[in-house]
């Protein structure tokens, strides 16, 4: 968890040391090379196709193709704060964990996900894809950043809800925006974890921008430093800029990284 990149965007959930190695190695930006067009031989680089809209299902159906970190639940991105790293949060922004729960005897959380996809052809034959995603009632939990399997600060893990559906889950509303390049217009979209964290992106796929904001309510646990069952809120703000013009935003690409816990009513932000 000490790698600057691994500290901020992590799959759910890899061991801390392995995350640091994987994220640091796999997120090095690669500037696309564009061949100059020839006026004698008009090409698609001179006359690119118009941008297009794709259904959000093209993105959602591509996520969660691995289940390495909290099996049997599908993998999706988790988040930590920084300076210092003290908290890890996991929010089911794709609805995949909720679907697994509902189909395996767990509670129905009422998770809903929608959004849009805009695809712009690039001169080099690839496409730049912008995904805008909104989720409501997304399963959420938080724990210490030093031990993702440690005592919970907030909410309930999916495995806990499977074992005891009567537990009260933490639920969040999410707004997410992610921009990446893809192999070609209309090509299958990548699984973010598999492509950009596990290192299986194709040559044409590059993560460029990621913003994630969530606000959730649920119960805080004793490990957070409050009485067990205290009503609380989990608020996550993450912004990553991986390819920039003019030097980048920060050394690690994340000018904003917050995972905050609050007590409901008193407005107290937990340290």
Hey, how many other C-beta atoms are within 10 angstroms of the C-beta on 182?
A: 22
Name the more confident of 16 and 93.
93
- Cβ-based neighbours of 46, under 8 Å, separated by 6 or more: 37
Average pLDDT, the chain: 83
List residues bridging with 260 in a β-sheet.
235
Name the more confident of 239 and 250.
239
Q: What is the pLDDT of residues 104-117, one digit of tens each?
A: 999 999 999 999 99
Residue 240 pLDDT class (50, 70, 90 cuts)? confident
CB 220 within 8 A of CB 232: yes
Round to whole Å and give the CA distance between 139 and 170. 6
* pTM (two decimals): 0.80
CB 229 within 8 A of CB 214: no
Residues 82-99, mean pLDDT to the nearest whole number: 94
pLDDT at 221: 98
Q: What is the pLDDT of residues 29-58, one digit of tens each?
A: 333 333 333 344 444 445 456 899 999 999
Name the more confident of 206 and 3.
206
Q: What is the pLDDT of residues 111-164, one digit of tens each?
A: 999 999 999 999 999 999 999 999 999 999 999 999 989 999 999 999 999 999
Q: What is the pLDDT of residues 162-186, one digit of tens each?
A: 999 999 999 999 999 999 999 999 9
Round to whole Å and give the CA distance between 259 and 19. 18
Residue 255 pLDDT class (50, 70, 90 cuts)? low
Round to whole Å and give the CA distance between 162 and 164. 6
CB 254 within 8 A of CB 238: yes
């Amino acid at each position: 968890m000490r790698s600057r990149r691994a500290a901020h965007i992590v799959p759910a959930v890899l061991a801390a040391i392995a995350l640091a190695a994987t994220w640091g190695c796999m997120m090095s930006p690669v500037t696309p090379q564009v061949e100059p067009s020839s006026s004698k031989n008009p090409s698609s680089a001179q006359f690119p196709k118009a941008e297009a809209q794709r259904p959000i299902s093209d993105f959602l159906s591509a996520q969660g193709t691995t289940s390495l970190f909290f099996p049997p639940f599908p993998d999706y991105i988790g988040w930590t704060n920084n300076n210092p790293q003290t908290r890890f949060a996991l929010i089911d922004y794709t609805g995949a964990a909720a679907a697994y729960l509902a189909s395996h005897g767990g509670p129905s959380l009422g998770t809903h996900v929608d959004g849009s996809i805009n695809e712009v052809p690039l001169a080099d034959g690839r496409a730049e894809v912008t995904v805008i995603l909104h989720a409501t009632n997304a399963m959420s939990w938080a724990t210490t950043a030093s031990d993702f399997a440690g005592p919970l600060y907030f909410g309930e893990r999916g495995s806990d809800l499977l074992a005891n559906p009567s537990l009260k889950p933490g639920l969040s509303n999410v707004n997410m925006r992610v921009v990446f390049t893809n192999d070609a217009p209309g090509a299958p979209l990548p699984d973010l974890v598999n492509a950009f964290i596990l290192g299986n992106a194709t040559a044409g796929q590059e993560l460029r921008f990621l913003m994630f904001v969530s606000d959730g309510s649920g119960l805080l646990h004793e490990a957070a430093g409050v009485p067990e069952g205290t009503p609380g809120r989990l608020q996550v703000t993450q912004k990553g800029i991986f390819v920039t013009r003019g030097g980048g935003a920060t050394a690690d690409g994340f000018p904003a990284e917050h995972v905050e816990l609050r007590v409901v009513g008193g407005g107290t932000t937990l340290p």
